[in-house]
Amino acid sequence: MTSPSIVIEPYDEGWPAEFERVAGVLRDALGPAALAVDHVGSTSVPGLAAKDVIDVQVTVADLDDPRVEAGFATLGSERSEITADHPPPGAGDPSGWEKRYYRAPAGWRGTHLHVRQAGRANHRYALLFRDYLRADAEAAEAYARVKRALAQLHPDDVDAYHAVKDPACDLVIAAAERWAAATGWTAAHV
């Protein structure tokens, strides 16, 4: 199976509503196993160019809670082989980057379903990354430029795209950590 080409599109005002639709379905399917369902990733940042794929972070108390697997199964969503996020330099304990990733059910719009455990480093990372780019339009635009250039250079090579995008994200999160310390940022679920 061939991966679709990587296309970075201008921000779409409809992305938040698309997230809300997906989030409602997930909340219904997962019930109390989902502590929070958050819009993360580039489509969650107003004005940011992105792939037309909604990134969703489902927060759980325990990655191995059987209610999580059962909830996704009711939707026809299968767990993928992806079990961790890219850790930035100095990330520490690798278990802080463990996650579950589910494929969107057939017929859904492009959606990435990330399940992360509350309190782990990758859970915080996704929220901080989003909130920092929401607060700093210049950083968001610089990040968009990197993504556009990578999509032009490697439109059909997701591995090459991520080989450069991940270190660029490391630079963004380093700035985001300084911003969080300076502003007293705390994670908010939205």
Q: What's the mean pLDDT in 55-74? A: 98
Whether pTM > 0.75 for this model: the answer is yes
What per-residue confidence (pLDDT) applies to 187? 86
CATH (one of 3.30.460.10, 1.10.10.10, 3.30.1330.10, 3.40.1190.20) for 15-183: 3.30.460.10
- Compute CA distances 123 → 14, 19, 115, 117, 187, whole Å: 25, 18, 9, 6, 9
| Confidence band of 3 (pLDDT split at 50, 70, 90) | low
- pLDDT tens digit sequence for 114-139: 999 999 999 999 999 999 999 999 99
DSSP 24-82: HHHHHHHGGG-SEEEEESGGGSTT--B-S-EEEEEEES-TT-HHHHHHHHHHT--B-S-
Please report, for the chain, the start and end positions of each structural domain, with discontinuous segments joined by +.
Answer: 15-183
- pLDDT tens digit sequence for 151-188: 999 999 999 999 999 999 999 999 999 999 999 999 87
Other CB atoms within 10 A of residue 160 CB:
14
121 contacts: CB under 8 Å, gap ≥ 6: 87, 91, 92, 93, 96, 97
The residue count of the chain comes to 190
- pLDDT tens digit sequence for 90-114: 898 999 999 999 999 999 999 999 9
DSSP classification of residue 123: H
What per-residue confidence (pLDDT) applies to 20? 98
What per-residue confidence (pLDDT) applies to 190? 57
What per-residue confidence (pLDDT) applies to 92? 85
Q: What SS3 string covers 11-34? A: CCCCHHHHHHHHHHHHHHHHHHHC
119 three-state secondary structure: coil
The label of the residue with tokens 């059910």 reads 105
Residue 1 has pLDDT above 50, yes or no: no
Q: Which sign, positive or negative, has the C-alpha torsion 57, 62, 64, 68?
A: negative
- Compute CA distances 63 → 98, 125, 188, whole Å: 9, 17, 20
Bridge partner residues of 101 (DSSP): 114
